[in-house]
A and B are shown apart, each in its own frame.
Chain A
Amino acid sequence: MVTFEHVTKKYKGGTEAVRDLNLTIEKGQFVVLIGPSGCGKTTTLKMVNRLIEPTSGEIYFQGQKTSALNLVEMRRNIGYVIQNIGLLPHLTVAANIALVPELKGWPRKKREERVDELLSMVGMEPSIYRNRYPAQLSGGQQQRIGVLRALAADPELILMDEPFGALDPLTREQLQLEFKRLKERLKKTIIFVTHDMNEALLLGDRIIVMKDGVVVQDDTPEGILRHPANEFVASFVGRAAKPQAASDLLVRDVMNPAPITIEAKRGLGEALKRMQKYKVDSLLVVSDGVLRGLVQARDLYPHLIRDERLPVEEVATPPPVTVTADMPLSQAAVHLTAHGHNLVAVVSPEGRLEGVVTRASLVGVLVDSLNTSGDGGAQLSAGGGGQ
């Protein structure tokens, strides 16, 4: 899809922003360019759509030299999200999103449908947001529109320069997760620039670490984590692996991945035995790994006297509130604290039970942040008892 061949960029004044870069990006790959400020990430990205001319070397897009292509034409087939959002303030949300389709001459009806489709995709009700102006949106919403604008004409390749960089940590986290789901659906080739290793690990299929204009390591997220090429990469990863604050934790980091469950068809008597054995007062009811509901001790007693073998599914209540593993911990915590639930089940998008978050898990987080040992979520995931 994109190939860099001995690409070098020297700015006037002598800065060598990119040095002899060789890179091949396959179709469908999500490639993250990461590195400290000034290492040449933006320069690399902008050389792809020729907003910056390489000093030497050649870049290929879909097998053709970009220096020989019609730039306007090429750019319309490459989605571009700039570092500072860059929505046009005088155009409505709809007009901003539909910009490239309009340049490409799509008929109006098709453009309008596309805008509504995209807005719905990120959970922004089209009838509400379509006719708003960028000034009437929150920072997070503006950034969503920035991303949608790049997707609008369904380009083969999307370039994204720190799309979530300007946002506050909570919004950023939310958008990252949203975008992760989106990208899995889209299956596009994406070159994504960031200097946040957490973001890189969350989103990338392939991570390219740069420093001073050269590639230091080019690997999968696992490769980067397990075998950092040198001290520099290791320190970059080290920083990422330790959540800076409780607000950075995800449900996955603290959930107990082995909750105490019972098969839906089992009898009430067995349910009671399990509760006694594990010293818990409720069980998650599953069948074939899919969460069916919750059974509590107090629901058992009235029925136990009559029929010990009554299947638990007969007395179970519907699944309590559920979350997914990639949600911020704060969302699970709300259910436990404000809404008074004893536990929050963690399920996959298909409904499979993946774990459970209990009050005890939260206490674990609290203790950890008080200790400020900064040793991350690994220990915490064990602290899930008391179900």
Chain B
Amino acid sequence: MTVFATWLKMWSYLTTNLPEVVRALEEHVLLLVVFPVAMAVVVAVPLGIAATRWSWLEKPIMAVINIIQTIPSLALMALFIPLGLGIGNKPAIVALFLYSLLPILRNTYTGIKGVDADLKEAATGMGMTEFERLLRVELPLAVPVIMAGVRTATVIAIGTATLAAMVGGGGLGRYIYRGLQLMRDYLILVGAVPAAALALVADFVLGHVEYWVTPEGLRLSREKSE
């Protein structure tokens, strides 16, 4: 079978089973990417902020998160099966969530730490409380960096989520997994091509979001210093 024929078959599968593929895509995006990444934002941003306030927190947090990151993603998913989550999407979601913590946490921490010391001192000197300073100065200035972390986490999660099928979960990985089992190249492509396209689109869109959430004045001052 030629490569061309494989693509043709993929296309015909896609068109005849469109609703099913779309459902897999939805599952992939919402359940395996958006949900775990969103949860990671909810957890990692406050943790990252906490680490900048209480320096003793930084080392243990980073250590744990680095350990998680070194565990291969499939192994991490599989690890949760016997831990009461069973097979299906659940162990995958937990693993994807844990995986997304690192880029978001690291960027939150460095983004806030990276705010110009003079600005922080000016803010304190003018009579801002610690909390006001965080809210009005540090977070707005760190937002672009935090957002870049979210972007990285999302793109990684889109790829890693294709492994969910291996632990009985859904998403686009199901086609890849089934294709591998049945030795059907075109089925692999039905999962792989949309997943790859999804990663590219997400990267592009989030790049724009990153620009868009950067405060205008900050954007101007960066453009000026370039």
Contact = CB atoms under 8 A, between A and B. Distances in A.
Contact of B125 (A82, A89, A92): A82
Given A82-B118, A135-B224, A136-B220, A90 B215 contact: yes
B127 A100 contact: yes
B137 interface: yes
A353 B37 CA distance: 75
Given A88-B137, A90-B140, A103 B128 contact: yes
A82 B118 CA distance: 8
Interface string A226-243: 000000000000000000
Interface string B122-136: 111111110010001
Interface string A7-34: 0000000000000000000000000000
Contacts of B132: 103
Contact of A72 (B127, B218, B221): B127
Given A90-B217, A92-B217, A133-B220, A75 B118 contact: no
- The interface size bin for chain B is 20 to 34
Q: Which of A74, A92, A135 has the most CB of B within 10 A?
A: A135
A76 B126 contact: yes
A50 to B, nearest CB: 9
A88 B118 CA distance: 10
A135 B126 contact: no
Given A72-B129, A89-B141, A51 B121 contact: yes
B147 to A, nearest CB: 14
Interface residues of A, number: 28
Contacts of A86: 118-119, 121-122
A133 B121 CA distance: 20
A99 interface: yes
B216 interface: yes
Interface string A33-75: 0000000000000100101000000000000000000001111
Given A133-B217, A135-B217, A135-B224, A49 B141 contact: no
Contacts, number: 72
A80 B122 contact: yes
Interface string A355-378: 000000000000000000000000
Nearest to A149: B126
A72 B125 CA distance: 8
B125 A80 contact: yes
A76 B215 contact: no
A73 B128 CA distance: 9
Contacts of A84: 118
A134 B221 contact: yes
Interface string B171-198: 0000000000000000000000000000
A14 B51 CA distance: 29
A51 B122 CA distance: 10
A91 interface: yes
Q: Lowest 9 CB-CB distances: which A-B pairs, in order?
A: A133-B217, A86-B122, A76-B127, A75-B127, A90-B215, A135-B221, A135-B220, A80-B125, A89-B221
5 contacts: A49-B125, A88-B136, A92-B217, A100-B127, A133-B221
Interface of A: 46, 49, 51, 72-78, 80, 82-84, 86, 88-92, 99-100, 103, 133-136, 149
Given A46-B125, A133-B216, A133-B217, 20 more contacts: A51-B125, A74-B127, A75-B125, A76-B126, A76-B127, A80-B125, A80-B126, A82-B118, A86-B119, A88-B122, A89-B218, A90-B141, A91-B217, A100-B127, A103-B132, A134-B221, A135-B217, A135-B221, A135-B223, A149-B126
Interface of B: 118-119, 121-129, 132, 136-137, 140-141, 215-218, 220-221, 223-224
